[in-house]
Amino acid sequence: MINILTLTESFSQLPSPPISPNNHHNIFKSKNVECSDKQPIENSTMNKFMDVINNGIQINDEMTPYPYIIKKLHSLGNHFINKKTADAIQLRVYEIGKENYKDFWVHPLYLSLQSYQFFKLFEEIKNDKEEDTIIEIEIPSLNTFPVILYWIYTGNLNKLLEIAKLDEFLCEGIIKNIQTLDIIQMEFE
């Protein structure tokens, strides 16, 4: 059985109380306040993500700085990009509003350390160890996702810039994908 999880899954929200039919006198002046049960989870996840960036990752009872980890991952990226290894997960990527998709083998460590949206997604599913799990996401530009994946895995910005310069449509797709996935890229010396 294939278990499909999506990036756009939402948390359940309690329904609003019914409006009183006698409220036409405006006895109480009230403000409309939007409240979501998703917000505390979102803030907690964002704090956890920022903690990793600011403080690093604990490896063998020692904190390893974030820049060091990213540099190491980038140095090995060409060996792992789109390769089915023991820790790889199948990612099915759709373009928003279209039915066509592409499948990729991705490694949660690479994506979750450099994209807040992937960090959130992998936090939600980290206890799901089923082999046949396929993660589905929707992004603005399917055509530019492979080059963004290459950039995440290698840190090499040249290919990304080269493709962005080819066509304004491709450039726009790259920018929208980076924004949608909340990708962070820092230059480390």
> Is pLDDT larger for residue 40 or for residue 3?
40
Q: How confident is the model at residue 128 (pLDDT cuts 50, 70, 90)?
A: low
**21-35, 37-51, 135-149 — which one is most confidently predicted on average?**
135-149
Domains of the chain in sequence order: 4-8+45-181 (3.30.710)
Exposed, middle or buried: residue 121 (CB in 10 Å: 0-12, 13-18, 19+)?
buried
Give the alpha-carbon dihedral of 114, 119, 121, 126, to 10 degrees: 120
Residue with tokens 């399917």: 142
For the whole model, what pTM was predicted? Answer: 0.75
How far out from the chain centre does Cα 127 lie? 17
Measured CA angle at 45 (ends 179, 149), to 5 deg: 40
Residue-level pLDDT at 71: 95
What pLDDT score was predicted for residue 179? Answer: 96
For the ranges 39-48, 58-67, 104-113, the lowest mean pLDDT is seen at 39-48
Phi, then psi, of 161 in degrees rounded to 5: -65, -40
Instruction: Provide the pLDDT for residue 66.
Output: 94
